[in-house]
Chains A and B, each alone.
Chain A
Amino acid sequence: MKRGNAYGGPGGDKFWDDAEIATLTFNDTITRVTASQSVDLAGISRNRFISSKHSILLQANQCYFL
């Protein structure tokens, strides 16, 4: 058995349940992985995002009236 490095940060208020792992035997394997995702705003603060969206709307309006 190899235990790998830990990735990510120190946050998270819920530790993954060891009891869940304890139900596994050496013969058990992973059969399915499911996931969900959200839009990645990569480092853009909410305020900046809202203001840039607002600015695009203003530009659109300007184009419309021209």
Chain B
Amino acid sequence: MLLSLTFGYSNDRIGREYGGVGRRGSWEDLIPLELTPGERIDHITIYEGYRNITNPYREGKLTYIIVGIYLKTDRNQQTLFGSTNGIQKEESPNNYFLAYVQGQDGGHIDSLRFTWYKYCLKNSTISENDNF
């Protein structure tokens, strides 16, 4: 299942590693998703579920976390990180691409939330109130 996640941005900034604190047991680094210039992530599938992870706030109880994430780009690169064994939820707003990701984490990825920007033609305007 998904243990940690890191996003790199075009301003050469690499975000911190989310999750993966105090890696225990067997784990592996996965082949990264490398986007080519101009390529954008336009489809995300999340897999979430209860797992028996080390959690000092829920001793002896299962914790609801993100167990896997599938990413697809507008050039049809596809990557699955982690497990598909969970409740599947998709986000793929038409004509939008993934701008950045926020969430909460500890030893694993507890929650995720995505912010999308709209594809715009040159010289078109962006509406600030263009929310869900």
Contact = CB atoms under 8 A, between A and B. Distances in A.
Contacts of B51: 40-43
A64 interface: no
Given A38-B1, A45-B52, A33 B33 contact: yes
A47 to B, nearest CB: 9
A38 B111 contact: no
A55 to B, nearest CB: 19
Contacts of A6: 103, 111-113
Nearest to A41: B52
B131 A16 contact: no
Interface in A19-57: 20-21, 23-46
Size category, A interface: 35 or more
Contacts, number: 226
Contact of A39 (B9, B25, B46, B65): B25
Given A26-B117, A29-B97, A43-B51, A4 B91 contact: yes
Nearest to B38: A29
Given A24-B99, A38-B27, A7 B93 contact: no
Given A2-B96, A9-B48, A29-B97, A43 B62 contact: yes
Interface in B53-93: 55, 57-58, 62-67, 69, 71, 79, 81-83, 85-86, 89, 91, 93
A24 B111 contact: no
